[in-house]
Amino acid sequence: MPRLFLIFALLFTTSAMAAAIPATKVAKVNDRIYALLGPMELPNKKNQGYMVNSTLIIGETSAILIDTGFTDEIGAHLAKEVAKLTKKPVKVIINTHHHGDHSFGNAAFPDAKVISSEMCRKLLIAGEGEWLGIIQGALGRKLPNTRAVPATEVYASKTKTDVTLDGVKLTFWVPEAAHTAGDMMIWLPDDKVLVGGDITVNEITPNFRDANVKLWIETLAEVKAMPAKTIIPGHGPLMTTKSVAKLHQRMAKLYAGVEAGYKSGLTDGEIRKKLDLAEWKPLHHFDEQMGGNINKAYLEIEAAAF
């Protein structure tokens, strides 16, 4: 009995001592669109897993929130941020992809309908345990209320669908694959705003973990040609088609470098030493991610060669 009490006491102390969720940076895009910019560090005890950008779109009678954070607590934090900007209730949640940092906060919006790509729904259900493990490991505590809440309205791969939600025109753009096999971008034609999810990231090293790098680069070529005034990235400050063009060029150059190395018989470790990565080095998460990224591109090129 005393031992059990000790465990409860420890659990209580751990959650009581959890750091506060860092403040959201609100960037007003226009009268009805706000980017809710999260911190840029990878999930840790200090940021409590808060690392994602969300987008608030205010409709005629309700609000749409795109991407909800890594935990139900971050979802609740975002709900409070939204309430400061509009009194209209969040009735629709959209997930740009299945990764926990974008989707696990859905649980904080029980009254909202969730929309995503068809593949995002599948990957979110299949990957729930893995992503829960990642965030509980990073925070060093259990998250009993964080879980996958998959979409009930889904859009198929390789489609662009025009919809009007509560007076807001949107195009749901589901590429074949890019950052994941189930990304969805949201284009607002009247606002000339694109919500790119992690296909578009700014000032951080993109994460190739679940990517199809070749198709991602092809998708970025399409994004940079869009008539967009503002692009809201999945992480980092707001972008323009110009900064997307830079990301596209950097990724295409990296991929070509890995491909050239592969063709000349080098291993991915040897390629890493040979590549000029100077333009990547100033980006956040370079040390954590670049080795894995080169390996992922290498494996993709190798698989395509067979």
Instruction: Indicate whether 210 belongs to the interface with Zn ion (CB under 5 A).
Output: no
Part in contact with Zn ion (CB under 5 A); list of ranges 62-70, 93-101, 124-132, 149-157: 93-101
Nearer to Zn ion by C-beta: 234 or 257?
234
* 3-class DSSP string for 255-293: HHHHHHHHHCCCCHHHHHHHCCCCCCCCCECHHHHHHHH
Part in contact with Zn ion (CB under 5 A); list of ranges 40-48, 131-139, 151-159, 190-198: 190-198
Minimum distance from CB of 124 to Zn ion (Å)? 13
Minimum distance from CB of 130 to Zn ion (Å)? 15
Instruction: Indicate whether 198 belongs to the interface with Zn ion (CB under 5 A).
Output: yes
What is the residue type of 116? S
How does DSSP classify residue 47? T
- Burial degree of 4 (CB within 10 A; 0-12, 13-18, 19+): exposed
Q: Which of residues 101-160 bind Zn ion (CB under 5 A)?
A: 101
Tell which phi-psi region holds residue 270, choosing left (phi > 0), alpha (psi between -120 and 50) or beta: alpha
First to last CA, the chain: 61
Part in contact with Zn ion (CB under 5 A); list of ranges 61-69, 70-78, 198-206, 239-247: 198-206
Nearer to Zn ion by C-beta: 43 or 257?
43
Nearer to Zn ion by C-beta: 73 or 101?
101
- Strands across the sheet containing 185-188: 159-165, 168-174, 185-188, 193-201, 230-235
Minimum distance from CB of 234 to Zn ion (Å)? 5
Instruction: Indicate whether 300 belongs to the interface with Zn ion (CB under 5 A).
Output: no
The answer to whether the Cα torsion of 79, 37, 57, 179 is positive or negative is: negative
Count of beta carbons in the 10 Å neighbourhood of residue 221:
14
Minimum distance from CB of 216 to Zn ion (Å)? 14
Minimum distance from CB of 181 to Zn ion (Å)? 15
Nearer to Zn ion by C-beta: 223 or 271?
223
CA–CA separation, 207 and 224 (whole Å) = 19
Nearer to Zn ion by C-beta: 101 or 210?
101
Catalog residues that contact Zn ion under the rule CB under 5 A: 101, 198, 234
